[in-house]
Amino acid sequence: FGGISGKVLREKSAAFFRLLARNFYGKTVLISVGGISSAEEAYVRILEGASLIQIYSAFIFQGPSLNKRINEGILSLMERDGFHHISEAIGARR
C-alpha cells in the first residue's frame, strides 16, 4: 500500500490477510502486518491463521513496552478462550 502504515491501514490489511488465509492457510506460514496496535488486534489475526505478527508503527508510538503488553494480553485472551498453547489458537476461527 505504498507508504501507508499504522491505524489507517488496519481494515485494508485485515481484509487482505483474510483473503490470503483462505487460500494459503496450512500451506505456508502466514505473517500478518498492518495496523496492529493491541493484543486484541493481534489475537484476531492469530485466530484467522497468522503464525507471526509484525508490529511497527504502534511500536514507534507506544514504545518497547508494547511487546510485553501484547504478549501478556494474548496469553489472557487465549486463557479466556481455553487455549493452552499458541498453536491451538492459530487458525481457530477459520
Instruction: Specify the pLDDT at position 57.
Output: 87
Catalogue the long-range contacts made by 3-7 (C-beta closer than 8 Å, 24 or more residues apart). Answer: 5/34, 5/35, 5/56, 5/57, 6/35, 6/37, 6/57, 6/58, 6/61, 7/35, 7/37, 7/57
Query: Is this prediction's pTM over 0.85?
Result: yes
pLDDT in tens, the chain (94 residues): 456 666 667 888 999 999 999 999 999 999 999 889 999 999 999 999 999 999 988 999 999 999 999 999 999 999 999 999 999 999 999 8
